[in-house]
Structure 1
Amino acid sequence: MAQKAAPKTIRTDKWRIAPTNEQRQYLLNTVQEYRRLCRFLVTVVCTHWVDLGSLNSDKLVPAVERLVHGTAKNPTPKYPQINRAFHKLPSYLRRAAIMFAAGQVSSYMTRYRDWQSGQSRNRRDAKPPTLNSDAGCYPALYKGQCFKLHGFEQVEIKVFTGTDWIWITMPIVSLRERHTVSTNQIKSPSLIVNDKSCHLSVPFECHPERVKGAGVVVAVDLGLNTTATVSVVSRDGTVIHREFIHPGRDIDRRDKRLKSVSQRAKKTMGKGGKLGKGFCKHTYRRCRNINQQIGHIVSKRITRIAQSYSADAVVFEDLKGWKPKGGKKRSNLKQRFHGWLKSLIVELTERKWAELGGKTITVIAAYTSKLAYDGSGQVKRDGKNYALATFSSGKRYNCDLNGSYNIAARGWLKLDSRKDYEKRSSGNSGRLPRSWACLCDLWAEL
């Protein structure tokens, strides 16, 4: 019996191409011509939005083409100047531009209605939204009409020279691995060309088969002292694998840059001064990029662990809506909490694991680290080293590792037939709620 396929997902790869100087100019001309057409079409679509706004995409494109494109069956379009200004333009580029223009106008109309009703007004004198027809869009290349793929080494693209449309061939110098998966389907790529980059943004429709679980879950405890503490736990409560993931070099690079911001702020403000708009914006941008890199490193490692053990699920704590609280006076705890990448790591892991056909679940976060995994009660944190905990029996253990065990136990209870365990209270009023399960609860079920 074939394994049931997971829901389809869309992922995008970046294929770098290496055009010559002449070909690069042709690519820039193509993008400029496409954007010029979009500006024309935004005006046309906005003018006729009363008639076009209720149409779906299958009917909207022909309706706009009847307004701007002359054919034997439509010899007198309402706006013939567009057909003359864009002579020999590929029909599929025109249709892509129509869909982009319709999206711009639809967004503007929605924002304008919200402004009229007062939903989007932060103050009484808020100005109405404006229609942006000069958006930095890039052309979508339809297979066979605008681009042809020769293996995965060369690509042929139809470009605008300034006077005519011609085909040019360029080598593909780098790509990723999604094209090697037989179940992935290549969709129409977008041509991205600017002063710094020249590549194809290639979307893939992924149809992964669901992971056939081997009877283990991967539980992840996200913390400050250790970015991610991972445990692989079987259904009977056996801990098969443990790992600490902490890209300290990248974290130090980020913190060093953030520390320089406060030093520069003191020199800039002096006593009673104010910081200007955009102060240290380039430093903050670099720090955001470093955070993205940390998130990808951690999520990639978690996904590889889950894949190597064929995990039934990856389990995280549900930390949505959690807000940081400050520590003692002159403590940097609140600043450290703001650098906690809990949401980013969960989001990236969920995307990566879903592409491989896996499942990601969340459990209640309360008392995952406060309760000892062996059922001996609450633990006591070490005053000097907060990552260590002391059990009531005197045993000292890593607090994050203890928390990951309890997360795994709650994950198994959620995956089992008792899916409503978070809503059920304990039969004994003296016990903790069942949603605060520990690893020892899996042992008790043996």
Structure 2
Amino acid sequence: MKTPAKVIRTDKWRLNPTTEQRVLLSETVEVYRRACRYLVGIIYTHWGELGDLTADQLTPAVEKLMHKTAKRPNIKYPQFNKTFYKFPSYLRRAAIAFSAGQVSSFVTRYRDWQSGSRKRKDAKPPRLNASTGCYPSLYKGQCYKLHGFNTVEVKVFNGSDWIWTDVHITGLRERHLVASNKMMSPSIVINNRGYYLSVPFTCKPEKRKPEANVTAVDLGINTTATIAVVTHSGTVIHAEFVHPGRDIDRRDKRLKSVSTRASLTMGKGGKLHKGFCSKTYDKCRRINHQIGHIVSKRIVEIAKKFNSSAIVFENLKGWRPKGGKKRSNLRQKFHGWLKSKIRDFTEMKWAELGGRVVEVVAAYTSKLAYDGSGVVKRNSKKYSLATFTSGKRFNADLNGAYNIGARGVFKLVCRNDNEGRSSKRSGRPPRSWVCLCDLWVSGNPKLA
């Protein structure tokens, strides 16, 4: 097995500054942003000579233009040292790196626009955004000093000078407790929800010795996620339904209020103004974000508990839902289907533990019975219920999870997955439509 690659994840530590410290932190962020705007102009003006430099070469080249020293008394832009008095050297270099990234991005996008690479024919040219919402990166020893995990000493700007102040940390995550994780330079983040330290960690997962099983996930609209742990011999050792109904009801209740308010606003005709119910939609997006994390966290917990070799999803990229019957809410349910969000969140969490995510063909996972009896019949009144040709009644989502797990096993461990499966040319189901019963036939395949 290959050594797992390093991954970078970020924790958010909540700060509890005093009223005076809030002013100092806000002033520090503001002066850093003003410095970035100033540097964007300098770097863009000289991009012809700076654009071909490496990152290590660019920073000293920019400093030669705007930072006065004893050995370099004559510079082209002496206003920087006057405007940003005693600006810390580490913050200055961080601002240069960020500003260079802004200019590089703009130049690339503008060249693409000039060459005709546009989403629309009438697309306007990109603009250089010097007024950015960036946050200052803090370097250990120079800009911040961590005293345990209760207090952080931060260098802040008080309007005339740079001073140190102790800020209490009231909320932590868990990544700092992992010995193999390496803490990188944090950033001060200020928004309408509070004051935080955004702390990135370099995570180096340990080598895994997984068991001979996979964790299969069937993502649905009636049940958010149906999970089945399938061994390489076709035995299902765990099955679980994950459906945070309370959060889903909170989201749907808010979305339903939008149509009511829209009808009261428009009447029988007319148009809604731009940004109509924007706060409600923002709240629903945050609820969806929370649902994605709740479900993905549970999937990873199960995979970790059974030490699975992989987590298996259906490949639903590019899938488009079909509208339901008139006056049905099926289309709204599909809009709230978090298939991509849950899959992406799961992959991020699982990669941090050194695991891998596998995608299999989605066709006929729920339509074929896991026992090989053929196509199932779905109940028209209760679509989550499936009836096999033998008369057996089974949960359709769980049946799909079994088949997803079987396809994941064949994709991972079978040297030759065409044993007992015919090709498309024979008129029978293609080899990619593996069911759980195919693992029973093949026995216990050896690892490839």
TM range (shorter): over 0.9
Q: Is the 8 A contact 2:9 2:201 kept in 1?
A: yes
Displacement of 1:266: 1.2
Cα deviation code 1:223-248 (max 9, x no counterpart): 11111100011111111011011111
Residue in 1 aligned with 2:104? 106
CA distance in 2, matches of 1:294, 1:196: 20
Unaligned 5+ residue runs, structure 1? none
Cα pair 1:88 1:165 within 8 Å, conserved: yes
Cα separation, partners in 2 of 1:111 and 1:154, compared to 1, 3 Å: same
Note the C-alpha offset of 1:114: 2.2
Displacement of 1:316: 0.4
Aligned partner of 2:120 in structure 1 is 122
Deviations 1:356-392 (A, max 9, x none): 1111110000000000000011101111111111111
Structure 1 counterpart of 2:48: 50
1:295-346 C-alpha deviation (Å, 9 max, x unpaired): 1111111110011110111000000000011122222222211111111110
Q: Which residue of 1 aligns with 2:153?
A: 156
CA gap 1:224/1:52 in 2 versus in 1, 3 angstroms? same
2: CA distance, partners of 1:187 / 1:221: 37
Q: Does residue 360 of structure 1 match 2:353?
A: no
Counterpart of 2:320 in structure 1: which amino acid? K
Q: Which residue of 2 aligns with 1:18?
A: 16
CA-atom RMSD in angstroms: 1.7
Q: Distance in 1 between matches of 2:228 and 2:405?
A: 8
Equivalent residue, structure 2, for 1:35:
33
Within 5 A, what are the aligned runs for 1:200-349?
200-349=197-346
Give the Cα separation in 2 of the matches to 1:417 and 1:230.
22
Name the counterpart of 1:175: 172
Aligned pairs (5 A) from 1:183-198: 183-198=180-195
Point out the more displaced range, 399-408 or 29-38.
Answer: 29-38
Moved segments of 4+, more than 6 Å: 419-422
Q: Which amino acid aligns with 2:19?
A: N
The equivalent residue for 1:442 is 439
Note the alpha carbon deviations across 1:52-79, whole angstroms, 9 max, x for none.
Answer: 1111110000100000111233221111
Q: 1:149 to 1:430 in 2, by over 3 A?
A: same
For residues 385-423 of structure 1, the C-alpha deviation after alignment (integer angstroms, 9 at most, x for no partner) is: 11111111111111101100000000000001437869x
TM-score by length of 1: 0.96
Deviation, structure 1 residue 428: 8.1
1:189 alignment partner AA? P
Counterpart amino acid of residue 41 in structure 1: L
CA deviations 1:238-286 (Å, max 9, x no partner) are 1101101111111111111111111111111112211111111111111
Q: Which amino acid is the alignment partner of residue 80 of structure 1?
A: P
**How many residues of Structure 1 are paired with residues of Structure 2 in the alignment?**
442
**Distance across 2 between alignment mates of 1:391 and 1:245:** 24
Contact 2:216–2:228, Cα closer than 8 Å, also in 1: yes
Q: Which amino acid aligns with 2:264?
A: K
Native 8 Å contact 2:417 2:431 kept in 1: no
2:71 counterpart residue number: 73
Cα distance 1:397–1:196, how it changes in 2: closer, same or farther (>3 A)? Answer: closer
Q: Could you state the TM-score of these two structures normalised by the residue count of structure 2?
A: 0.95
Give the Cα separation in 2 of the matches to 1:22 and 1:328: 59
- Cα displacement (A) at 1:130: 1.9
Q: Which amino acid aligns with 2:331?
A: K
- Give the deviation of 1:129 after TM superposition: 2.2
Identity of counterpart residues, as a percentage?
66
In 1: Cα distance, 2:147 partner to 2:173 partner? 16
Corresponding residue for 1:64? Answer: 62
Residues in 2 aligned to 1:6 and 1:56: alpha-carbon distance in whole angstroms: 28
| Residue range with higher mean Cα deviation, 28-37 or 61-70 | 28-37
Residue-by-residue CA offset, 1:25-64 (whole Å, 9 max, x unaligned): 1111111111111111011001000001111110000100
- 1:210 Cα deviation after fit: 3.4
The reply on whether 1:147 has 2:144 as its aligned counterpart is: yes
Bigger mean CA offset, 74-83 vs 310-319:
74-83
C-alpha distance in structure 1 between counterparts of 2:65 and 2:412, whole Å: 56
Q: Secondary structure at the match of 2:199?
A: strand
Using the alignment, how far apart are the partners of 2:83 and 2:377 within structure 1?
A: 76
Distance in 2, Cα, partners of 1:420 & 1:192:
51
CA contact (8 A) 1:5 1:207 kept: no
Distance 1:128 1:243 in 2: 51
Contact residue 422 and residue 428 of structure 2 kept, 8 A = no
Task: Determine whether 1:393 maps to 2:378.
Answer: no
Pair 1:373-2:370 in alignment: yes
Letter matched to residue 103 of structure 1: G
